[in-house]
Structure 1
Amino acid sequence: MFRNGVEPWHIFIMVAVLVLLFGSKKLPEMARGLGKSMRILKAETKAMREDDAPAAEGTATSQASEAARPAVEPTNVTKAADPKSTTTA
C-alpha cells in the first residue's frame, strides 16, 4: 500500500503548496530559522553527550577530583540566648 510513499511528484506538489501559502519571501527566512534551530539542537545534544561521558567512565575520576578538593571543616553554630527565657531576680 505505502511501498513508494513519497515520490518526486509528491515533493513537487508540496513545494508548490508551500510557495503559494507562504510566498517566496518567507520561505528563505523559514529555512534559515530551521537551519539555526537544527544547529542549536546539534550543539546541545553534543554538549549533553560530553557531560554524560565523564559520569560513565566510573567513580575513579570523581574520587580523584574529590581528593583534590580541600576538606571543609564543620563550624559550630551557637544559638543566641532567648531574651524571654532569662529571668530577672
Structure 2
Amino acid sequence: MFGFGIPELLIIGAIVMLIFGVGKLPELGSSFGKAISNFRKAADGKDMIELNSKKDG
C-alpha cells in the first residue's frame, strides 16, 4: 500500500486530527467518500447527461 506501514499511518492520522479536529473527521470522511464515488461514476460514464437542443424551423 504505497509503502506506508502502521507507524506512518498513525502519524498521518494524528496530524489530520490536529489540523481538522476530531469533530470534523466524520464530515471530512463522508465528503471524501462522496467525491470518490462521483469520480468513479463519471469515469465509468454512468453519470452522463444528454443535452438535446431543439432545432427551430
- The secondary structure found in structure 1 opposite 2:23 is helix
Q: Provide runs of 4+ in structure 1 moved above 4 Å.
A: none
Per-residue CA deviations over 1:50-70 (Å, capped at 9, x if unaligned) read xxxxxxxxxxxxxxxxxxxxx
Could you tell me which runs of 5 or more consecutive residues in structure 2 were left unpaired when the two chains were aligned.
Answer: 47-57
Higher relative contact order (CA 8 A, sep 6+): 2
Aligned to 1:44: 42
- Tell me how far apart the structure 1 counterparts of residues 34 and 11 of structure 2 sit (CA, whole Å): 26
Supply the AA of the counterpart residue of 2:26: P
What is the CA RMSD across the aligned residues, in angstroms?
1.4
Relative to the length of structure 2, the TM-score reads: 0.66
How many correspondences in the alignment?
Answer: 44
Supply the AA of the counterpart residue of 1:27: L
Identity %: 27
Aligned to 2:54: none
Could you tell me which runs of 5 or more consecutive residues in structure 1 were left unpaired when the two chains were aligned.
Answer: 49-89
Matches within 5 A, 1:20-39: 20-39=18-37
- The secondary structure found in structure 1 opposite 2:45 is helix
